Amino acid sequence: MSKEITSRAQDYSQWYNDLVIKGELADYSAVRGCMVIKPYGFALWENMRDVLDKMFKDTGHVNAYFPLFVPKSLFEAEEKNAEGFAKECAVVTHYRLKTDPDNKGKLIVDPEAKLEEELVVRPTSEAIIWNTYKTWIQSYRDLPILVNQWANVVRWEMRTRLFLRTAEFLWQEGHTAHATKEEALEESEKMLHVYADFVENYMALPVIKGVKTASERFAGAEDTYCIEALMQDGKALQAGTSHFLGQNFAKAFEVKFSDKENKLDYVWATSWGVSTRLIGALIMAHSDDEGLILPPKIAPLQVVIVPIYKGIEQKASIDKKVNDIITALKAKNIRVKYDDTENSRPGWKFAEYEKKGVPVRLAIGARDLENNVIEVARRDTKEKGSYSLDNITETIENLLTEIHQNMFKKAMTFRDEHITKVDTWDEFVKTLDEKTGFISAHWDGTAETEDKIKELTKATIRCIPLNNIQESGNCVLTGNPSTQRVLFARAY
């Protein structure tokens, strides 16, 4: 058995790393800040991607693929976007290596193969895509364009953490083009709801939908909608964003369309994305000190079966029964594995699958077989019980549903207990430090106050919730008049 997992109480951040690495989701690589997503972690991502992809297609979107590189002159065209990402751009300057004349067997960058114009490795693709849309859009008949791209992007982060913040990550980025402001706004809200639907109903993680303040907006956006989730250490995590880009990119790239009256206008835009960061969110929201707890609907493996036997004969009769069970489960599209490898003992296997967060573990021995029962253990509550083999498929189907619901409820209860209304600055600081979680407080609406609060406490305004209650009050820091509470938290 691998070394134990650090407990949350002992070192939350080390606990998280242990889960990722010992749960075999991902590992560090030889490239600073870049991770290797291991097969188990990638299978999780594939399940998430497939669900999201279907949701995007069901809402009328199609996939396409745009270049990895953005020429510098395009990158800088939308000024705010460029400014926002310039500090973290990996830049390709040369297109050839050559053998090092001074060092046999080594290579150097060929100084004669310098690019005339440097290429930025995409940190996000608005620039290259809007430069392309220019050639796709002439009239209102070409609109809307509802395109999504699954891709890798690079943002040169100084401090990286597996899944949560890596120099390279995988994501999807939707980029849509519309004839009217209303339609673009509607699209950006619609995709926020798609994200919330996914995170809540597949990742079992409740989210708060809201809109960012001006300071927290995506660089180049008019409005950034977001979903915010709460982690077990009381820190918030932005799980997805959807941006209303106004006409900013259309203006930067001169993308106009003629409307039904033949009048020219700039095109309206949205973009929206979620990334492998979501994996970090689900790990931190659900798991415990024994290991990962993966949401059943996207878990790479939903059920594992471990045989407990002495001798070949017992094994043979268990195998026979297990094969029937597996056939029945697979017929219901349940992802199941029979672990009858001989080089490790059942106890070791139990711990291993616990660590890897498999939602349901079955164990079956000769005695069970006689009694026509099987031991069923659920990962989330660690409850165990003996169940009849007669309707085991139904038992497991129901259990997977129940586990999802229980995980969601648990996360929801925790989240709700950690939204605290606060009306004084002392309370604000104390709640943030001691209780943690979201703080619902009045804010005077100025960027200065927002900055000051961040400087003093490291808490940021996570969002102004959608359909926020309007109530008059006084800013928690300045005492200036305020019309609504907003949600503050320390965040990942």
Q: Are strands 268-275 and 264-266 parallel, antiparallel or unpaired?
A: unpaired
The angle, 0 to 180 degrees and rounded to 10, between the axes of the packed helices 126-136 and 79-86 is 150
When the beta carbons of 89 and 204 are compared against a second copy, the nearer one is: 89
* Residue 147 token pair: 């395109």
Q: By CB under 8 A, name the one of 14, 39, 327, 448 that touches a second copy.
A: 39
Say which residue the tokens 């498999």 belong to: 358
| Residue 77 beta carbon to a second copy: minimum distance, rounded to whole angstroms | 9
Q: For residue 107, state whether it binds a second copy (rule: CB under 8 A).
A: yes
Q: By CB under 8 A, name the one of 69, 266, 338, 425 that touches a second copy.
A: 69
Q: By CB under 8 A, name the one of 19, 48, 52, 74 that touches a second copy.
A: 74
Measured distance CA(361)–CA(337) in Å, rounded: 10
When the beta carbons of 23 and 234 are compared against a second copy, the nearer one is: 23
* Residue 124 token pair: 């996000």
Measured distance CA(297)–CA(350) in Å, rounded: 21
Q: For residue 64, state whether it binds a second copy (rule: CB under 8 A).
A: yes
Contact (Cβ atoms closer than 8 angstroms) between residue 67 and residue 128: yes
Q: For residue 433, state whether it binds a second copy (rule: CB under 8 A).
A: no
When the beta carbons of 35 and 399 are compared against a second copy, the nearer one is: 35
Which one of 130-138, 264-272, 372-380, 426-434 is the stretch in contact with a second copy (CB under 8 A)? Answer: 130-138
With a CB cutoff of 8 Å and minimum separation 6, the contacts of 182 are none
With a CB cutoff of 8 Å and minimum separation 6, the contacts of 15 are 5, 6, 7, 8, 289
When the beta carbons of 135 and 467 are compared against a second copy, the nearer one is: 135
Q: For residue 154, state whether it binds a second copy (rule: CB under 8 A).
A: yes
When the beta carbons of 136 and 452 are compared against a second copy, the nearer one is: 136
Separation of first and last alpha carbons in the chain? 31
User: Looking only at residues 10 through 29 of this chain, which bind a second copy when binding is defined by CB under 8 A?
Assistant: 27, 29
Q: For residue 86, state whether it binds a second copy (rule: CB under 8 A).
A: yes
Q: For residue 177, state whether it binds a second copy (rule: CB under 8 A).
A: no
Which one of 98-106, 257-265, 280-288, 412-420 is the stretch in contact with a second copy (CB under 8 A)? Answer: 98-106
Q: For residue 30, state whether it binds a second copy (rule: CB under 8 A).
A: yes
Q: For residue 54, state whether it binds a second copy (rule: CB under 8 A).
A: no
Q: For residue 156, state whether it binds a second copy (rule: CB under 8 A).
A: yes
Measured distance CA(203)–CA(95) in Å, rounded: 42
CA dihedral 399→404→409→415, nearest 10 degrees, is 150
When the beta carbons of 82 and 236 are compared against a second copy, the nearer one is: 82
**Residue 130 backbone class (left: φ over 0; alpha: ψ -120 to 50; beta: rest):** alpha
Q: For residue 38, state whether it binds a second copy (rule: CB under 8 A).
A: yes
Q: For residue 91, state whether it binds a second copy (rule: CB under 8 A).
A: yes
Q: For residue 105, state whether it binds a second copy (rule: CB under 8 A).
A: yes
Q: By CB under 8 A, name the one of 5, 19, 20, 37 that touches a second copy.
A: 37
| Residue 92 beta carbon to a second copy: minimum distance, rounded to whole angstroms | 5
* Residue 19 token pair: 């889960």
* Residue 312 token pair: 């070949």
Contact (Cβ atoms closer than 8 angstroms) between residue 464 and residue 211: yes
The angle, 0 to 180 degrees and rounded to 10, between the axes of the packed helices 12-22 and 277-286 is 110
Q: For residue 308, state whether it binds a second copy (rule: CB under 8 A).
A: no
Measured distance CA(107)–CA(327) in Å, rounded: 55
Q: By CB under 8 A, name the one of 5, 48, 82, 487 that touches a second copy.
A: 82
Q: Where are the alpha helices (DSSP H) in 207-338?
A: 248-252, 277-286, 311-331
Q: Which residues pair with 114 in a beta bridge?
A: 94
CA-wise closest residue to 80 among 140, 126, 134, 22: 126
Q: For residue 1, state whether it binds a second copy (rule: CB under 8 A).
A: no
| Residue 448 beta carbon to a second copy: minimum distance, rounded to whole angstroms | 24
Q: For residue 365, state whether it binds a second copy (rule: CB under 8 A).
A: no
Q: By CB under 8 A, name the one of 7, 59, 118, 478 that touches a second copy.
A: 118
| Residue 213 beta carbon to a second copy: minimum distance, rounded to whole angstroms | 25
Contact (Cβ atoms closer than 8 angstroms) between residue 110 and residue 137: no
Measured distance CA(155)–CA(124) in Å, rounded: 9
| Residue 206 beta carbon to a second copy: minimum distance, rounded to whole angstroms | 29
Q: Are strands 470-474 and 223-230 parallel, antiparallel or unpaired?
A: unpaired
CA distance readout (Å), 366 to 187, 329, 390, 396: 58, 21, 16, 21
| Residue 161 beta carbon to a second copy: minimum distance, rounded to whole angstroms | 16
Q: By CB under 8 A, name the one of 15, 16, 56, 66 that touches a second copy.
A: 66
Size of the site for a second copy (CB under 8 A): 67
| Residue 349 beta carbon to a second copy: minimum distance, rounded to whole angstroms | 15
In the DSSP assignment, the letter for residue 325 is H
Which residues in this chain contact a second copy in the complex, by CB under 8 A? Answer: 27, 29-31, 34-39, 41-43, 45-46, 62-72, 74-76, 79, 82-83, 86-99, 105-107, 109, 118-121, 128, 131-132, 135, 141, 147, 151-152, 154, 156, 168, 170, 343
